[in-house]
Chain A
Amino acid sequence: MEIPYTTEVRPDTGLTNPKLGIWLFLASEVMLFGSLFSSYALLRSGAPTWPVQREILSVPLASLNTVVLIASSVTMVMAWASLTPHTASVRAGNRDEEARSLTRYRLFMGLTLLGGAIFLVVKTIEYSDKFSHHFYPSTNNFLALYFTLTGLHAVHVIVGMIVNGYLWGPGARMWRSDPERFANRIEVAGIYWHFVDVVWIFLFPVLYLL
C-alpha cells in the first residue's frame, strides 16, 4: 500500500503527513524531557544544599560540545538545502545535477554525522572522568539527574545518527527514484536532529552553568 501524502500536501492539515508526524512525535518528546526538567527544578529547589555543578562537571568540554552540536545542525540544514532546489531537474532526468547535488548532500550529511560522533566521544570522556572520580548516579540527586538527562539525550543523538547514517548511505538511492520524497525525508530527519540540539541548548546552562 502506498503511504498517502508523503510529498503532496494534505488539504485538511496543509502539511505532508511526515511533517505533521514528526512534530507530533516531538511534542511527546517535549513532555518526556519536560518531566525530567520539572523533576530537576523540584529536587534542586527543595534541596537544603546543592553541589556547585561547575566544580563537578567540565564547562570547557560542555562548551565544546555545544558548538559541535550547533555546527552539526547547520550542516544538517545545508544537507537539505543541497537537495531541495534540484528535485524538479532530477525528476526530469538531469543526471549531472543529480550527481552534483548528491555529492554536496553527502558532504554535509557526513559532516553532520561527524559532529554527532565528536559529541558522543566528548560525552564518553566526560562520563569516564566522572566514574574515575567515583561519581555515579547513586552519589547524589544532582548526579542522578545529570546522568539521566544527558544519558537520555545521548540516546537521542545515537538514534539520530542511525537515521542520518541510513540516509547518507543506502537510503540515498531514493534521490534518483523519488527526489521530492527524499528531500522531504532529509527535512524531517533534520527537524528531529535540530530538536536534539535544542534539548542540549537547555541542558548546557541547567546542568553546567547555573
Chain B
Amino acid sequence: MAHDVATQVRGYMFVFGALLVLTVTTVAVSYLRLPETPAVIIGLSIALTKAALVAMYFMHLKGEKPAVYWPLGLTAFLFVGLLVSLLLAEGDHLFGTQFDDAFTR
C-alpha cells in the first residue's frame, strides 16, 4: 500500500508538471494573437486536456466505477444538448437566417 502511494505521488508530480507546461503554453499562444477560430480551438483543447488530467488523476476518475461514469456521461450529454439547442434556437446570427437578412436581400 505504501509503495502504491509512493508511485501515485510520483504520478501527481508528473501531472503537476504537465499542468504547468500547458498553462505556460496556452498563455504564450494567446500572445500570438491568432485569428479567432484557431485561437478558440487551441485554447479550449489545452483547457480540455488540463481538465482531463485533473479529473483522471487528482479526482481519481481513472479506474472509477460505472456508477460514477453513467451520471457524468449523462451530464456531459445534457450540457452539450443545452449548448447546441440554445445556439440552434437562438443563434440565427450564426446561420444567416435572421428575418432582416431576408428583407435586405
Contacts and interface: CB of A to CB of B under 8 A. Distances in A.
B54 A194 contact: yes
A204 B54 contact: no
Interface residues of A, number: 49
What interface size band does chain B fall in? 35 or more
Interface string B33-44: 000100110011
A116 to B, nearest CB: 15
Contacts of B2: 85
A134 B83 CA distance: 32
Contacts of A77: 12, 57-58
A121 B60 CA distance: 29
A114 interface: no
Secondary structure class of chain B's binding surface, majority of residues: helix
Contact of A194 (B59, B68, B87): B59
B30 A45 contact: no
Given A38-B82, A77-B12, A45 B87 contact: yes
Interface in B1-18: 1-2, 4-5, 8-9, 12-13, 15-16
Contact of A198 (B27, B54, B67): B54
B104 to A, nearest CB: 15
Contacts of B4: 85
A37 B94 CA distance: 17
Interface in B55-81: 55, 57-60, 65-68, 71-72, 74-76, 78-79
Contacts of B82: 31, 34-35, 38
